[in-house]
Amino acid sequence: MMSSAPQVKACIFDMDGLLLDTEAMYTVLSNKVLAQYGKELPLETKIKMMGRNVKTATDILLADLQLPTTFEEYDSQITELKKTYFPMTMMMPGAERLIKHLAKHSIPIAVATSSNKDMFLVKTTNHGDVFALFGSNITCGDDPSVKNSKPSPDIFLTAMNRLDSSLQPADCLVFEDSVTGVQAACNAKMNSIWVHDMRFSLDPQNPPKDHNATERVTSLLEFNPAQYGLPAFDS
């Protein structure tokens, strides 16, 4: 972590793989579709897809696996599976605790997710009480204000401006699980916590660089809000 941690005023959260364990579920669903082609989703391809919007991520998969199908055909098949399975997605360790803690102390919080609005609603089906704490501060990848997807900074800057027009990028702390998301936070000139899920690491014994994140952790349970000028956990 930086020698002098920033004092932040607002927190912005990615969703997939950060708040909800959708990345593991996505791998399972992808393999269900890929089975008809006699293929599975390689970890290298999975990592490249993480943090991207649906079109970009799917195009990466189709190219890497050289699948004889179109984006529309593949997306149609996996979308039906998503509608069935994504409502069962569990929250990631430490996510609910942190969100409720920040909300309790009236710290401005927002979600900035590459998921489109319809799929956001599917994924959060059974976690409405937690996501209600964000109020209207939910920015999705298909929002008209988001002209360019991650790693462009658009979605984070949009989320910041909707939280409070007086906020500056340096006031914000972004939580991301993907390198693409961390790059987007850096491009927005915001502080960032890279929550690096080691299930999606090519070499768990030798973790990669922090990709210019302010801090790298392997779980939200490791995050200490007091180090960033935020209220300390009660226990």
Active site residue 203: no
Give the torsion sign (CA, 224, 26, 157, 117): negative
**C-alpha of 143 from chain center:** 16
| Backbone φ and ψ of 63, nearest 5° | -75, -45
129 part of the active site: no
How far apart CA 21 and CA 227 sit, in angstroms, is 26
Which of 16, 21, 171, 177 is catalytic? The answer is 16
Distances (CA, A) of 5 to 9, 170, 181, 192, 224: 13, 11, 20, 11, 11
**What are the residue numbers of the active site?**
14, 16
